[in-house]
Amino acid sequence: MSIFKGAGVAIVTPMKENGEIDLEVFGELIEDQIANHTDAIIAIGTTGEAPTLDDDEHLEAIRYCVEKVNGRIPVIAGTGSNNTAHAIMMSKEAEALGADGLLLVAPYYNKTTQKGLIAHYSAIAESTKLPCILYNVPSRTGTNILPETAAWLGKNVENIAAVKEASGNITQVAHLIELAEGSLDVYSGNDDQIVPLCSLGGIGVISVLSNVAPQQTHDIVQACLDGNYTLAAKLQLAALPLCRALFCEVNPIPVKAALRLQGHQVGLPRLPLVDIEPAHLEQLKAAMQEYGCL
C-alpha cells in the first residue's frame, strides 16, 4: 500500500531571528498546507535544512509535525545520513514519535558503491517497521542509485516502498519503473517533471513548489492520477517559470524568500546558506505574480 498518492510538500523549517526553530510558524505552514489539499508532509529533508539541525532540533521538529498533523495526512520524516548507524538511530526515533514513513537520502560525501547502497538501505529498513522512501539526488550527493539497485531493494526488502527520483534523467526513471515491476512507488523529486514521471507510472511528487503553491501542485498530480494528461500538461507548463525561479539559487534559499513574500515569517536559512540576491528576488517575485501565488 502506498504511503501517499499526490503532492507531498518538502516543507521548510521556519527560523526565528536568533536562529532557533519557530514552531509556531511551522504549525501555521502545516495548517496552510492541509487546508490547500497537500497529500503528505515531508519534514526535515533538504528543504527543511536537515544538514544544519542538531539531532534534538531535528527530532523535536518531527515530533511537533506529527502532533500538529494529528493523523490528517501522512508525515514522512527525513532521517537519512551518510552514517548508517546514525540513520538507524534517527529512523527508530522518528518511528517512536509517530511518523508514517521515512525519507532516506543516498549517502553523500563518503558515498559508496551500489553494493554499499544495498547494505546501507537494507540495514536501515530492517531496523524499523516504517515504510522507507529512497531519495536519489545525485547532484547533491554525488551518488546515483541505479535502477537495478533500487529495483533489487524494492523486491527484496519488505518495507522499502518507494523512491523519490531527483536525478532529472527521465530515461533512468523509465528504466527504474520497468525493472521494479510494481515493487516500488515512484515520486518525482523535481517539480518541473511531475507529468513526465507520472505518465510513466509515478504516483506523485515530493515538492518544493508546494510550499508556495500547494493547491496548484496538488492539482497537477491529481490531473495525472485522473488520466487527464491534457490538463496536467497545461498545468505543468504554467508552473515552469516559477519552478525555475525557485531554483535560481541553492534550495531552500529561494523558497524561504518566496514564503516571506507571501507574508510567512519563516526567517533566513542557516549558514552556510545566506539570503537571496536582490536580482534573483525580483525574478522570483515576478514569477510568483505571473503564477498567481503572490
Are 61 and 39 spatial neighbours (Cβ–Cβ below 8 Å)?
A: no
Q: Is 135 one of the catalytic residues? A: yes
**What is the mean pLDDT of the segment spanning 106-133?**
98
Residues 6+ apart with CB under 8 A from 136: 106, 144, 145, 150, 163, 164, 165, 166, 167, 189
Nearest CA-CA partner of 12 in 74, 72, 56, 78? 78
Cα-based angle 78, 67, 47 (whole degrees, multiple of 5): 30
Q: Is 155 one of the catalytic residues? A: no
**What is the mean pLDDT of the segment spanning 7-22?**
97
Nearest CA-CA partner of 241 in 189, 291, 294? 291
Give the H or E element holding residue 176. Answer: helix 170-180
pTM: 0.97
What amino acid is encoded at 118 in this protein? Answer: I
pLDDT tens readout for residues 31-61: 999 999 999 999 999 999 999 999 999 999 9
Q: How far is residue 124's CA from residue 121's CA, in Å, rounded to a whole number? A: 5
Nearest CA-CA partner of 103 in 170, 185, 177? 185
List the catalytic residue out of 164, 187, 256, 291.
Answer: 164
User: Domains in the chain, start-ordered, CATH in brackets?
Assistant: 6-228 (3.20.20.70)
pLDDT tens readout for residues 155-178: 999 999 999 999 999 999 999 999
For the chain, the maximum distance between any two Cα atoms, rounded to a whole number of angstroms, is: 49
Q: What percent of the chain has pLDDT over 90?
A: 99
pLDDT tens readout for residues 214-235: 999 999 999 999 999 999 999 9
Nearest CA-CA partner of 194 in 215, 160, 211, 218? 218
**What is the mean pLDDT of the segment spanning 141-158?**
98
List the catalytic residue out of 135, 187, 256, 291.
Answer: 135
pLDDT of residue 193: 98
pLDDT of residue 1: 72
Are 176 and 150 spatial neighbours (Cβ–Cβ below 8 Å)?
A: yes
pLDDT of residue 276: 98
Q: How far is residue 123's CA from residue 198's CA, in Å, rounded to a whole number? A: 30
Nearest CA-CA partner of 283 in 236, 239, 241? 241
